[in-house]
Amino acid sequence: MSNAALSIKDLRVTFKTLLGEVQAVRGVSLDVAPGEVVGVVGESGSGKSVSFLAVMGLLPKSARITGSAMVNDIELVGSSPKVLRKARGSEIAMIFQDPLSALNPVHRVGAQIVEMLQAHQSISKDEANTRAVELLDIVGIPQPKQRARQYAHEFSGGMRQRVMIAMAIANDPKVLIADEPTTALDVTVQAQILEVMERIRRDLGTAVVLITHDLGVVARIADRVQVMYAGRAVERGQVLPLFEHPSHPYTQGLLNSLPHGGKERLQPIPGAPPNMLQPPSGCAFRARCTHAIDRCAEAIPELIQVGVHETACIRAEELELTT
């Protein structure tokens, strides 16, 4: 058994729809070490959120999930609701883009954290109340005692996200999954939330999976990054070398499409992501790839070690990509 906080193996998710089967996630693996921040990036529809909703057991019944996701020797995929309920919160917790819809509008914020604590720990009401205030303090909410008695609508967007983080870490989970936690926030508030997440990783040793489309956010706080495209990981590695020398043409395309502070013409990736009802044969990116050759259509490329990171491109070694 590895010492990973979270270990995902060959995760696959399909949805039955009227038009056929949508293959949202097509074999994703990922190990996250304790105290590590792994950024999962990709464009809309790449399967980055669905993968982790599947891990959390939060997908609707129409989803068929196979593979494995282990946290603290507990298998999450295919487990009973009882096992999942116990694991969620105490072993693995998740925060979302929109904290307002995740908070109960008619209960005080403090009471919601207390509920979270009492669901997993045998702890008295008084103790739980004290702990709730402590948690609000940890995530940087000023006057936590007074704030605990307020309702979600009395908090700003950034403060609500702090409350969500407080709830998520209440039972000291091994893994925190953050799904676009700062996308709805202004940049100055985003900077505050990222700082809170960094502190939690450092002080509590929580493993963090940060799902985002913002490569800047990944560059700021992630140790490693997994780039996803069409339901698969196309590249994975340490952030510094990967941003400097991406080996996959998609990663390179993503980095190149961003403005770099000058007036040079931007370089979009031509075309659009494939339809996941009928994913293309072989490499899913080949239709948009300027380096594609006939062989790319033959088999789905697996992640292989190329230099210091792993890349799912059969031509990765011969291509000299730069950004």
Partner 1 sequence: MSVPVLEVHDLVKNFSIKTAAGIRVVRRTVQAVSGVSFTINEGQTVGLVGESGSGKTTVGRCVLRLIEPTGGSVQFKGQELLGMDQKVLRRLRAQMQIVFQDPYASLDPKMTVGAAIAEPLVIQKVEGNHEDRVVELLELVGLASDHSKRFPHEFSGGQRQRVGIARALALNPSLIVLDEPVSALDVSIQAGVVNLLEDLQAQLGLSYLFIAHDLSVVRHISDVVAVMYLGKLMEIGPADEIYNSPSHPYTQALLSAIPEPDPVTERKRQRILLQGDVPSPIDPPSGCRFRTRCPIAKEICAQEEPELIDRGQGHPVACHFAEVMPVKVSITGSALGTSAV
For residue 74, the cross-strand partners are: 71
111 contacts: CB under 8 Å, gap ≥ 6: none
Q: Which is nearer to partner 1, 3 or 322 (CB)?
A: 322
Q: Let me know: does 288 contact 295? Beta carbons within 8 Å.
A: no
Told to check if 127 binds partner 1 by CB under 8 A, we report no
Told to check if 100 binds partner 1 by CB under 8 A, we report no
191 contacts: CB under 8 Å, gap ≥ 6: none
Query: Both tokens of residue 210?
Result: 């940060």
Told to check if 259 binds partner 1 by CB under 8 A, we report yes
CA–CA gap between residue 133 and residue 148 (Å, rounded): 6
CB neighbourhood size of 274 (10 A): 18
Among 2, 3, 44, 290, binds partner 1 (CB under 8 A): 44
Q: Let me know: does 209 contact 221? Beta carbons within 8 Å.
A: no
Give me the 214-243 binding string for partner 1, x by CB under 8 A, dash otherwise. xxxxxxx------------------xx--x
Among 104, 143, 156, 278, binds partner 1 (CB under 8 A): 156
For partner 1, which stretch binds (CB under 8 A), given 2-10, 163-171, 197-205, 209-217?
209-217
Among 154, 195, 298, 302, binds partner 1 (CB under 8 A): 195
Q: Which is nearer to partner 1, 68 or 243 (CB)?
A: 243
Told to check if 56 binds partner 1 by CB under 8 A, we report no
Give me the 262-291 binding string for partner 1, x by CB under 8 A, dash otherwise. xx-xxxxx--x-------------------
Amino acid at 251: T
Q: Which is nearer to partner 1, 88 or 160 (CB)?
A: 160
For partner 1, which stretch binds (CB under 8 A), given 27-35, 103-111, 255-263, 310-318?
255-263
8 contacts: CB under 8 Å, gap ≥ 6: 28, 29, 30, 31, 51, 55, 67, 68, 69, 70
Told to check if 188 binds partner 1 by CB under 8 A, we report yes
* CA-to-CA dists, residue 60 to 21, 53, 102, angstroms: 15, 10, 17
Under rule CB under 8 A, how many of the chain's residues touch partner 1? 42
CA–CA gap between residue 143 and residue 158 (Å, rounded): 15
Contact residues: partner 1, CB under 8 A? 43-44, 156-159, 186-192, 194-195, 213-220, 239-240, 243-244, 253-255, 257-259, 261-263, 265-269, 272
